[in-house]
Amino acid sequence: MEAETSWTTYPYNYMTTYIPEAESYSEQSDDDEETKLQTFAIDSLLPNDLLERILSFLPIASIFRAGTVCKRWNEIVSSQRFLWIFNNNSVSQGPWYFMFTTTDDPSGYAYDPVIKKWYSFDLPCIETSNWFVASSCGLVCFMDNDCRNKIYVSNPITKQWRKLVEPPGHKATDYTALSTSMNRAKQSYSVSIVKSKQVAGDFFQWDLSIHLYSSETMTWTTSVTDVLTGWRGGDESVICNNVLYFLIYSTGGNSDHRHGLIASNLSSSTSSLMRSFIPMPCALTCGRLMNLKERLVVVGGIGKHDRPEIIKGIGIWCLKEGGEWQEMARMPQRFFQGFGELDDVFASSGSDDLVYIQSYGSPALLMFDMKFKCWKWSQKCPVSKKFPLQLFTGFCFEPRLEITP
């Protein structure tokens, strides 16, 4: 099956995309006509190269608005030259967080941490909110949760997307982990799928395979097939520095911890995945993997000593060279209250220096800045509860204009 590409249906280009705010800006007065005339006069005096330099320092949502000001501004912010300047600008846009409910409707709200605003946002390709999601450097990969043969790579900002050819391996798997990695220098990307299927009649034996997609060759390859004893794969994986990390889960036996970590180098083959086994930093109720500046970071629920399935706190760890863990932070109790006491109570993802943690039971979104070591809540998300037992989830992605699938 040939790969398919679809571009945004807007009539001109991505700058016609409109991102409505959840909370409107205050309207400006129309009384001061003289100020308006002065503004337009100054604008007309600026050459294009200076104007595009100024516009490149705007937050990405403001760039969309700038493209609707006039034809001249639209041509500037839509040009390849502007994208190059914007891409090389030192101003950080910060990763956005997309939040939606666990219903059939995948629409939701995206949070911009730079200007602290929520935007009503629709994702391309995804059909229901229970699809697998992975992101890297402006690209977001979606995979359906049923047959797991529909895989799309998209830029959610520009709405450009591509459907990938169907991956190899078992069509029906018990557990699947999706991850993606973007190479900005080559403008290429890779997608990884870790499939785990129980061996018939044996709860402790699990077939595990790793399948890799390359955008350069537009083909899948199966890099690893192995059988794990006492462990199974799950739905958490991430790629850092060309190493695929994925969580494995104990199926009993004599393991002291419920989770372990496998590090598979994508540049070399291996005959046994357990040779790269890395113990987790402590007994965790759940774990979330993320790539922060090519560092593997784990956000995990810390289990109680006498009841390891009950969460007593949330911690953040970074994997150092040699397989050692460095604890970066523990969530203060005042923030942890309200997350509940189940074993799997939060979604978490991150990029750059920012970690997002969100309770499944509410739309509250907590952020941890790895650089400044500080915790803070985001602005309240406007997503409303339609049902008393409605759950919430989400993921983060980098807003970029120049990245194409």
Number of neighbours of residue 243 by Cβ within 10 angstroms: 17
Q: What is the mean pLDDT of residues 221-249?
A: 95
Determine the Cα–Cα distance for residues 314 and 296; give it in Å rounded to an integer: 17
| Residue keyed to tokens 């952020």 | 367
User: Can you give the residue ranges of every domain in the chain?
Assistant: 185-396
Amino acid in position 305: H
Residue 301, beta-bridge partner list: 286, 314
- Write the pLDDT tens digit of every residue in 331-379: 999 898 867 655 568 899 999 999 999 988 888 899 999 999 999 999 9
Residue 286, beta-bridge partner list: 301
pLDDT on residue 104: 72
- Write the pLDDT tens digit of every residue in 374-394: 999 999 888 765 545 678 889
Tell me which residue of 265, 266, 298 sits closest to 279, measured CA to CA.
298
Name 185's Cβ contacts closer than 8 Å, sequence gap at least 6.
Answer: none
pTM: 0.86
- Write the pLDDT tens digit of every residue in 69-91: 888 899 998 888 888 888 777 56
Determine the Cα–Cα distance for residues 166 and 148; give it in Å rounded to an integer: 9
In CATH, what is the architecture of 185-396? 6 Propeller (2.120)
Helix, strand or coil, per DSSP, at residue 153 = strand
Q: Contact 151/126 with Cβ under 8 angstroms? A: no
pLDDT on residue 12: 36
Tokens representing 10 are: 């807007």
Q: Contact 114/93 with Cβ under 8 angstroms? A: yes
Compute the C-alpha angle 291/294/295, nearest 5°.
70
Determine the Cα–Cα distance for residues 75 and 24; give it in Å rounded to an integer: 26
pLDDT tier, 10 (very low <50, low <70, confident <90, very high otherwise): very low
Determine the straight-line distance between the first and last CA of the chain, rounded to whole angstroms: 18
Tokens representing 95 are: 């990763």
Sign of CA dihedral 165, 154, 244, 194: negative
Amino acid in position 76: I
Q: What is the mean pLDDT of residues 178-200?
A: 93
